[in-house]
């Protein structure tokens, strides 16, 4: 079935994902495009970070002759929050509190990229070299 997966920021439509209760299986071929993660011999990897599949638990992560991957099993491993709306077939994978906290504890300002009102994109990192007052506001 077609499921919209929001991993990080971008929603991606995955044609043959399978939702089973609190588990979401997607074709292994779609894993990298959807999430950036890749399955390698040493585990599930994103750039230089690899998460080994816990001993004896391969079946929780991979099935159907290695063709399907359980994204929610990985999320649980990483303590990522997962929320899904079955009526609209949307699954959202958020960032783990531990990852957020590690980023802030590094005291390096986390980067972001957002548009201005003209639609031009700005990244915080573009302004490196100046003192920055980053201030929130809202119309409400």
Binding site for other proteins (CB under 8 A): 6, 9, 11, 79, 81-85, 87-88, 90, 92-97, 100-101, 103-105, 107-110, 112, 114-117, 122, 124-125, 127-140
Residue 38 near residue 48, CB atoms below 8 Å: no
* CA atoms 37, 18, 82, 86: torsion sign: positive
Residue 29 or 95 having the CB closest to other proteins: 95
Q: Nearest CA to 49 among 34, 33, 68, 36? A: 36
CB of 81 to other proteins, least distance (A): 4
Q: Which is nearer to other proteins, 42 or 101 (CB)?
A: 101
Q: Taking the complex as a whole, how short is the minimal distance between the CB of residue 40 and other proteins, in angstroms?
A: 27
CB nearer to other proteins: give 32 or 128. Answer: 128
CA dihedral 22, 101, 52, 72 (to 10 degrees): 10
Q: Which residues pair with 90 in a beta bridge?
A: 4, 85
Interhelix angle 71-78/28-35, nearest 10 degrees: 50
Task: Give 24 or 62: the residue with its C-beta nearer to other proteins.
Answer: 24
Closest approach of Cβ 108 to other proteins, in Å?
6
Neighbours of 116 (CB within 10 A): 8
| Smallest separation (angstroms) from other proteins to the CB of 7 | 11
């Amino acid at each position: 079935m077609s499921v919209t997966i929001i991993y990080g920021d971008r929603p991606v439509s995955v044609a043959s994902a399978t939702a089973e209760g609190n588990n979401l299986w997607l074709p292994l071929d779609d894993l990298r495009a959807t999430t950036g993660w890749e399955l390698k011999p040493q585990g599930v990897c994103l750039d230089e970070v690899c998460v080994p599949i816990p001993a004896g638990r391969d079946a929780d992560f991979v099935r159907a002759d290695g063709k399907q991957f359980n994204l929610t099993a990985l999320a649980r491993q990483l303590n990522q929050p997962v929320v899904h709306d079955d009526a609209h077939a949307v699954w959202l994978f958020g960032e783990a509190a531990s990852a957020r906290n590690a980023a802030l504890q590094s005291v390096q300002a986390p980067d972001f990229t957002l548009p201005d009102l003209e639609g031009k994109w700005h990244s915080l990192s573009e302004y490196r070299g100046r003192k920055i007052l980053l201030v929130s506001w809202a119309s409400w």
